[in-house]
Structure 1
């Protein structure tokens, strides 16, 4: 039995999958569950994004997307569809990468997941080296203290809360003096100020609870 499990994060650039293209065209961030591959070559996709008609129209116009469904939930949209175009994550998955979450920002992707043992990690890194635009961002041991079943369960933070925290950090919301206001970050995320502050509060709470366990 292999005792070590490693959390891994990849950054992907230059992918021409529908979600990457749509976020590049609209600037709307997308958080996606790992795609499910069908025997007929199609991918089952389930993802969410800030409410945006532009994103919905861009996806609907993409001939590689079929059966697109959008459910509006307040200031956020939840999508389901079929895609004829495989994502770069499949090359990593075939080598042993267990994807937990995918996020898309302005055409770039962030894949978070896990691998079991260093031998599998070497194979995944070889696959990454042969896949255009895939770069290893970080890797660290995933121990019992991480909780849950995967790398994204290391902290009790949802993808939307993580996006709010990252945007706030990148834009200088936490600096003194502040480099951006709550309204600035909310506009960047395409959500209301109150929604941003609520996600920020819940995200910070999840991070602190995870760190203090």
Structure 2
């Protein structure tokens, strides 16, 4: 039995993915579930973004996207569609990378997931070196304490859970507040707007669970 599971985070730049292309034209952050590759080569995409009609228009114009469906919510839009070709992330999935979440911004993507053991991690890194613009940002052992279930219990993505945890530890929710959103964003290594977007979506998920 292998008892070591590692969490790895990669940054992808240069991938010809419709979501990456969309964020080069519209300055938004897109949070996506792991893309699902179908037997016919098409990819099922399920993702969300802010309530910005420019994003919907850009995606609708993209010839590589079919059957775009948009659901309007109080805090933003949720999208489902088919993409005509697989993204580079599937090459990592084929060698053992288990994608948990993806975040697109500024024409690239940050993806977070797990690998089982160092041998699989080496295989993923070798495959990443053969693809376009993939860099390992960090890797660390998967937590085994009770905190690992927080995201699942409250319907949070790993990125949202991390943002809430770091913000809380830094005192962002203290009164009076002495830590700014920019301070937390810098600690996370993301933009202020990306942190605030994660925070808003995490709050929506938490309130959704609390109030049904």
- Counterpart of 1:158 (choices 146, 156, 172) is 156
Offset of 1:160 from its aligned partner? 10
Instruction: After superposition, give the CA deviation of every residue in 1:46-73 in whole Å (9 maximum; x if it has no partner).
Output: 0011111100000000000000000001
TM-aligned CA deviation for residue 26 of structure 1: 0.3
Unaligned runs of at least 5 residues, structure 2: 183-191, 207-212
- Measure, in 1, the Cα distance between the counterparts of 2:46 and 2:76: 14
Gaps of at least 5 residues in structure 1 are 181-186, 203-213
2:11 is aligned to 11
Deviation of 1:107 after TM superposition, in Å, equals: 1.2
Asked whether the 8 Å contact 2:101–2:158 carries over to 1, the reply is no
Q: Give distance in 1, aligned partners of 2:42 and 2:95.
A: 20
Equivalent residues of 1:18, 1:85 under 8 A apart: no
Q: Does 1:31 align with 2:31?
A: yes
CA distance in 1: counterparts of 2:144 and 2:179, whole angstroms:
38
Task: Supply the distance in 2 between the matched residues of 1:143 and 1:100 (Cα, whole angstroms).
Answer: 15
Aligned to 2:93, the other structure's residue is in SS state: helix
Within 5 A, what are the aligned runs for 1:128-167?
A: 128-145=128-145, 147-148=148-149, 153=151, 158-159=156-157, 162=160, 165=163
Residues paired across the two proteins, number: 187
- Over aligned residues, Cα RMSD in angstroms? 3.5
Task: Output the CA distance in 1 between the equivalents of 2:202 and 2:75.
Answer: 13
Residues 178 and 34 of structure 1: CA distance in aligned 2, closer, same or farther (over 3 Å): closer
1:122 alignment counterpart: 122
- Normalized against structure 1, the TM-score is what? 0.75
C-alpha contact (below 8 Å) 2:2/2:117 kept by paired residues: yes
